Protein backbone atom coordinates (compact mmCIF):
# COMPACT_ATOMS: atom_id res chain seq x y z
CA UNK A 1 0.00 0.00 0.00
CA UNK A 2 2.92 2.33 0.70
CA UNK A 3 4.15 1.99 -2.89
CA UNK A 4 0.71 2.71 -4.32
CA UNK A 5 0.17 5.73 -2.08
CA UNK A 6 3.69 7.05 -2.71
CA UNK A 7 3.34 6.68 -6.47
CA UNK A 8 0.04 8.51 -6.54
CA UNK A 9 1.42 11.18 -4.19
CA UNK A 10 4.23 11.77 -6.72
CA UNK A 11 1.76 12.06 -9.59
CA UNK A 12 1.52 15.89 -9.46
CA UNK A 13 5.31 16.03 -10.00
CA UNK A 14 5.64 13.11 -12.42
CA UNK A 15 2.34 11.80 -13.78
CA UNK A 16 1.60 8.08 -13.86
CA UNK A 17 2.31 7.27 -17.52
CA UNK A 18 3.01 3.70 -18.60
CA UNK A 19 4.33 4.50 -22.06
CA UNK A 20 7.36 6.42 -20.80
CA UNK A 21 7.65 4.53 -17.50
CA UNK A 22 7.68 7.52 -15.21
CA UNK A 23 8.99 7.05 -11.68
CA UNK A 24 5.49 7.36 -10.24
CA UNK A 25 4.24 4.65 -12.63
CA UNK A 26 7.05 2.31 -11.59
CA UNK A 27 6.30 2.83 -7.91
CA UNK A 28 2.52 2.42 -8.37
CA UNK A 29 2.83 -0.71 -10.51
CA UNK A 30 5.38 -2.17 -8.07
CA UNK A 31 2.98 -1.50 -5.22
CA UNK A 32 0.14 -3.26 -7.03
CA UNK A 33 2.41 -6.20 -7.89
CA UNK A 34 3.49 -6.57 -4.27
CA UNK A 35 -0.12 -6.32 -3.13
CA UNK A 36 -1.15 -9.13 -5.48
CA UNK A 37 1.87 -11.18 -4.40
CA UNK A 38 0.97 -10.73 -0.73
CA UNK A 39 -2.65 -11.71 -1.41
CA UNK A 40 -1.53 -14.78 -3.38
CA UNK A 41 0.85 -15.80 -0.56
CA UNK A 42 -1.91 -15.42 2.00
CA UNK A 43 -4.44 -17.35 -0.09
CA UNK A 44 -2.19 -20.19 -1.28
CA UNK A 45 0.34 -20.70 1.51
CA UNK A 46 -1.48 -19.56 4.62
CA UNK A 47 -5.12 -20.46 3.82
CA UNK A 48 -4.04 -23.56 1.78
CA UNK A 49 -6.48 -22.79 -1.05
CA UNK A 50 -4.87 -24.64 -3.96
CA UNK A 51 -7.77 -25.85 -6.12
CA UNK A 52 -7.69 -22.93 -8.58
CA UNK A 53 -3.89 -22.58 -8.66
CA UNK A 54 -3.55 -25.17 -11.45
CA UNK A 55 -4.96 -22.62 -13.90
CA UNK A 56 -1.93 -20.39 -13.37
CA UNK A 57 0.56 -23.22 -12.87
CA UNK A 58 -0.19 -24.62 -16.32
CA UNK A 59 0.87 -21.40 -18.04
CA UNK A 60 3.63 -20.76 -15.49
CA UNK A 61 5.33 -24.05 -16.35
CA UNK A 62 5.67 -23.06 -20.03
CA UNK A 63 6.00 -19.27 -20.15
CA UNK A 64 8.68 -19.37 -22.86
CA UNK A 65 6.50 -21.49 -25.12
CA UNK A 66 3.40 -19.35 -24.67
CA UNK A 67 5.38 -16.16 -25.31
CA UNK A 68 7.10 -17.47 -28.43
CA UNK A 69 3.99 -19.19 -29.79
CA UNK A 70 1.92 -16.04 -29.40
CA UNK A 71 4.57 -13.82 -30.99
CA UNK A 72 5.50 -15.96 -34.01
CA UNK A 73 1.92 -16.04 -35.20
CA UNK A 74 0.30 -18.87 -33.28
CA UNK A 75 -2.31 -16.66 -31.68
CA UNK A 76 -3.02 -14.95 -35.02
CA UNK A 77 -3.47 -18.36 -36.62
CA UNK A 78 -5.95 -19.39 -33.94
CA UNK A 79 -7.74 -16.03 -34.26
CA UNK A 80 -8.12 -16.48 -38.04
CA UNK A 81 -9.65 -19.91 -37.45
CA UNK A 82 -12.08 -18.74 -34.76
CA UNK A 83 -12.90 -15.26 -36.09
CA UNK A 84 -15.71 -16.31 -38.48
CA UNK A 85 -17.55 -17.92 -35.57
CA UNK A 86 -17.01 -15.07 -33.11
CA UNK A 87 -17.88 -12.51 -35.80
CA UNK A 88 -21.13 -14.33 -36.59
CA UNK A 89 -22.06 -14.45 -32.91
CA UNK A 90 -20.92 -11.02 -31.70
CA UNK A 91 -20.96 -8.64 -34.70
CA UNK A 92 -23.99 -6.87 -33.21
CA UNK A 93 -21.94 -5.69 -30.20
CA UNK A 94 -19.67 -3.34 -32.15
CA UNK A 95 -16.03 -3.63 -33.12
CA UNK A 96 -14.29 -3.02 -29.74
CA UNK A 97 -16.46 -5.48 -27.84
CA UNK A 98 -16.33 -7.96 -30.71
CA UNK A 99 -12.52 -7.88 -30.66
CA UNK A 100 -12.46 -8.51 -26.92
CA UNK A 101 -14.94 -11.37 -27.25
CA UNK A 102 -12.87 -12.80 -30.14
CA UNK A 103 -9.72 -12.72 -27.99
CA UNK A 104 -11.24 -14.80 -25.18
CA UNK A 105 -11.44 -18.07 -27.21
CA UNK A 106 -7.85 -17.43 -28.37
CA UNK A 107 -6.70 -17.15 -24.75
CA UNK A 108 -8.63 -20.31 -23.87
CA UNK A 109 -7.03 -22.13 -26.81
CA UNK A 110 -3.54 -21.00 -25.78
CA UNK A 111 -4.23 -22.15 -22.23
CA UNK A 112 -5.49 -25.50 -23.49
CA UNK A 113 -2.30 -26.00 -25.53
CA UNK A 114 -0.20 -25.36 -22.43
CA UNK A 115 -2.47 -27.65 -20.39
CA UNK A 116 -1.94 -30.40 -22.98
CA UNK A 117 1.82 -29.88 -22.71
CA UNK A 118 1.60 -29.83 -18.90
CA UNK A 119 -0.24 -33.17 -18.80
CA UNK A 120 2.43 -34.76 -21.03
CA UNK A 121 5.27 -33.12 -19.10
CA UNK A 122 6.51 -31.17 -22.11
CA UNK A 123 8.33 -28.11 -20.81
CA UNK A 124 10.35 -25.69 -22.95
CA UNK A 125 13.47 -24.56 -21.10
CA UNK A 126 16.61 -22.63 -21.91
Are residue 59 and residue 37 in the same domain, yes or no?
A: no
Are residue 39 and residue 100 in the same domain, yes or no?
A: no
Number of domains in the chain: 2
30 touches 10 (CB < 8 A): no
- What is the extent of the structural domain holding 60? 51-126
Handedness of CA 19, 25, 28, 29 (dihedral sign): positive
Q: For position 31, what pLDDT does the model report?
A: 94
pLDDT tens digits, residue range 48-57?
887 888 888 8
pLDDT tens digits, residue range 4-48?
899 889 888 888 888 888 889 999 999 999 999 999 899 888 988
pLDDT tens digits, residue range 65-122?
988 888 898 888 887 888 788 778 877 887 788 888 888 888 888 899 999 999 999 9
Q: Of 49, 68, 83, which residue is a domain's last? A: 49
Are residue 92 and residue 45 in the same domain, yes or no?
A: no
Are residue 25 and residue 56 in the same domain, yes or no?
A: no
Amino acid sequence: MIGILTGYALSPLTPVIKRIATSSFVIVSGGYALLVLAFSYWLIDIKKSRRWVIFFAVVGMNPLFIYLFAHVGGSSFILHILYPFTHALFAWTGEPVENILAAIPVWISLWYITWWMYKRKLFIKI
